[in-house]
Structure 1
Amino acid sequence: MALSNTEQVAAAKANLDAFFEVGGKVFEGVEKLVALNLQVVRSTLAEAQEKFTKAPGSTDPQQWFALQAGFTGPFAEKSLSYGRQVFDIASTTQASVAQVAQAHYERYNGRVQTLVEEAAKNGPAGSEAAIAAWKSMISATTTLCESLQKTAQQAVHAAESNFEAVTATASKAVRSKPEQTPVADGAKR
């Protein structure tokens, strides 16, 4: 299909711009996620190196087990923090993409409404029913899109609330868990 008039070229350009804008937002989110993962790997390796350099110096088994137990508490807290940051990146990216999509939808909807108004002005006699049907369809589509957007926002807010509740509970559980160290002489607890 050849692009024969300026409206088709403008529409194609707008669609291409929307594609690149959404792609840019997604790429920014991926970039943030990669940076977060690199930061986590660096800090984990540095902490592991620190712990393992201390381990050979400990000749007492209890001290060695205490060093090993020191991995679990900070690991759980850092895992929770990592999960929160990943969720923040994902929700921010989703909100940015939704905002771009909404803006492009509103522009497209405006163009369609202008087209329908022009058709109503220049339409032949008796076309009023068809124009009314078009307007009704546009109104129904707009209502559906708004409803879907509200539902998506409610789902994101519910997911955020649930995630925060789960991480708060897990964080409390990690903090309240007593440090377990082995008992000397193989005695049982």
Structure 2
Amino acid sequence: MTSLVPEQTIGATKAGFDTAFGVASKALLGFEKLIELNAQTVKATLAEAQELAAKSLSRKEPQAVFAVQTSQLQTAVQKAQAYWTHVNEIVSSTQAEFEATAKTVFKQPAFDTKAWFDNLSKNALPGVPGGDAIAAMWKASFGAAGQTASAAYAAATKATKKAVETAASEA
């Protein structure tokens, strides 16, 4: 007995799962980088606060305490700018990886839903009673779903670019 599911369909499904898990891994890697950056920032901030407190307490005159705190403020602004630059780099590289993956997936012939359903209807449905009606329904339903997915991808790409631009302008 031959399989109702063509090998091309099985391969496309496997490739889809591989892509989904690859994208999830890239997202997790970006998230890990942000967590690591935040942990380093908190550790450095605590150490600097302790050092500032020690310097401030060792000064006898109020002007000396004020001078120490003023110099630390300038350093803090520079460090905040460096932090947001690093966040922007992580987000941008993760976005670039997502875009590259999405472009690769959308260029694959297996992603062409019309061709996929044409292949399925030719290989799996000819001997099935009412197979032509089923194939027509699938083509109409999933063709519309494919167009919706393409529109959603375009909207997500636009929103991601806008978020990166906003983060970059605030850095």
TM-score in terms of structure 1 length: 0.60
Counterpart residue number, 1:185: none
Counterpart residue number, 2:158: 154
Of 101-110 and 76-85, more deviation after overlay is shown by 101-110
| Aligned with residue 126 of structure 2, among 123, 133, 139 | 123
| Aligned AA (2:52) | K
**Secondary structure of 2:60's partner?**
coil
| Aligned AA (2:126) | G
Q: Distance in 2 between matches of 1:100 and 1:28?
A: 15
2:166 is aligned with 1:165: no
| Aligned AA (1:158) | K
1:40–1:162: structure 2 CA closer, same or farther, 3 Å change rule? same
| Aligned AA (1:40) | T
1:36–1:54: structure 2 CA closer, same or farther, 3 Å change rule? same
Alpha carbon RMSD of aligned pairs, Å? 3.9
1:38–1:67: structure 2 CA closer, same or farther, 3 Å change rule? same
Counterpart residue number, 1:173: none
Q: Distance in 2 between matches of 1:53 and 1:6?
A: 72
Unaligned runs of 5+ in 2: none
Counterpart residue number, 1:62: 63
> How many residue pairs are counted as aligned between the two chains?
164
Whether the aligned pair in 1 keeps the contact of 2:117 and 2:139 (CA below 8 Å) is: no
Q: Distance in 1 between matches of 2:116 and 2:13?
A: 18
Q: Distance in 2 between matches of 1:159 and 1:23?
A: 19
Of 157-166 and 91-100, more deviation after overlay is shown by 91-100
Q: Distance in 1 between matches of 2:50 and 2:100?
A: 44
1:41–1:166: structure 2 CA closer, same or farther, 3 Å change rule? closer
Counterpart residue number, 1:26: 27
Counterpart residue number, 1:86: 87
Q: Distance in 1 between matches of 2:157 and 2:14?
A: 29
Counterpart residue number, 2:111: 109
* Deviation (angstroms), 1:67: 1.2
* Deviation (angstroms), 1:57: 3.8
